[in-house]
């Protein structure tokens, strides 16, 4: 059974810092890995999707990497801004659908 | 693009009552998912429809839960009778699923916050 873990559970950083969020999973038989952002009281917004054959994806200040052999993915956020404050979730897509991690709650203060 | 639309946004009801949550997926999407989010268990997949047909309902917690998708533009999740432990945020998501293509992200609604007293 797939288990997805995210570290750290919470992170508070000053504006401008570069930061890395970590995601690990136990079963490498995945179709893709996705990173989502969740704002309070809102649904999830898809940020990046890395297919199982890919190593990384980039969108603006965000870069996500995937290492299936070690069961790890990282989300790199460059030059963080207060507007980046949210909960970030990773999820693996497999035969039984999306399996989510418990998330990293990020706060970026001015 | 109106996005995935869920109603109601909030529901407060007493234990034992029937609860119906509604979802309108994005037009053109052929897959629909119901999730439940709690502090203790995070986000869990309850049921998955493809072309209006339930494909995997192994996440549905009990017989008290049922889901239907009568057409491509509407789905319901029903709880009868409801219990306090059903209190959670329920999300609906949709995507376009094509065999061999795993490059389509799921689009989520804003959820229904359910409180059972």
B33: phi then psi, degrees, rounded to nearest 5: -130, 140
SS (H, E, C) B16-38: CCCEEEEEECCCCCCEEEEEEEE
Structure tokens at A17: 């810092």
- DSSP structural state of residue B98: B
Q: What pLDDT score was predicted for residue A110? A: 94
Compute the average pLDDT of residues A28-39: 93
B34-63 confidence digits (pLDDT tens) = 999 998 889 999 999 999 999 888 889 889
Of residues B33, B42, B103, nearest to A97 (C-beta): B33
Q: What pLDDT score was predicted for residue B66? A: 96
Structure tokens at B10: 């909030």
In A, which residues are within 8 Å of B93 by CB distance? Answer: 43-44
DSSP A10-38: EEEEETT--EEEEEEES----SEEEEEEE
Taking any CB pair shorter than 8 Å as contact, residues of chain B touching chain A are 4, 33, 42-45, 48, 56, 58, 91, 93, 102-103, 105-111, 113
Is the CB of A49 less than 8 angstroms away from the CB of B103? yes
Q: What pLDDT score was predicted for residue B43? A: 92
Q: What pLDDT score was predicted for residue A43? A: 87
In B, which residues are within 8 Å of A68 by CB distance? Answer: none
């Amino acid at each position: 059974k797939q288990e997805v873990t995210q570290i750290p559970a919470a992170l508070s950083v000053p504006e401008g810092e570069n930061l890395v969020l970590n995601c690990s999973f136990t079963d490498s038989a995945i179709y893709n890995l996705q990173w989502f952002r969740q704002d309070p009281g809102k649904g999830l917004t898809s940020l990046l999707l890395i297919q199982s054959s890919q190593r990384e994806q980039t969108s603006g200040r965000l870069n996500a990497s995937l290492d299936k052999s070690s069961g790890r993915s990282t989300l790199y956020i460059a030059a963080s801004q207060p507007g980046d404050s949210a909960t970030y979730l990773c999820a693996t897509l497999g035969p039984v659908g999306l399996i989510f991690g418990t998330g990293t709650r990020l706060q970026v203060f001015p | 693009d109106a996005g995935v639309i869920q109603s109601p946004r909030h529901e407060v009801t007493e234990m034992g009552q029937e609860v119906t949550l509604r979802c309108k997926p994005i037009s053109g999407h052929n897959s629909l998912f119901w999730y439940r989010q709690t502090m203790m268990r995070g986000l869990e997949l309850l049921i998955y429809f493809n072309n209006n047909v339930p494909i995997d309902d192994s996440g549905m917690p009990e017989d008290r839960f049922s889901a239907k998708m009568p057409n491509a533009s509407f789905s319901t999740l029903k709880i009868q009778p409801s219990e306090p432990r059903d209190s959670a945020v329920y999300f609906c998501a949709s995507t376009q699923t094509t065999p061999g293509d795993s490059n389509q992200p799921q689009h989520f609604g804003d959820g229904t916050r359910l409180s059972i007293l």
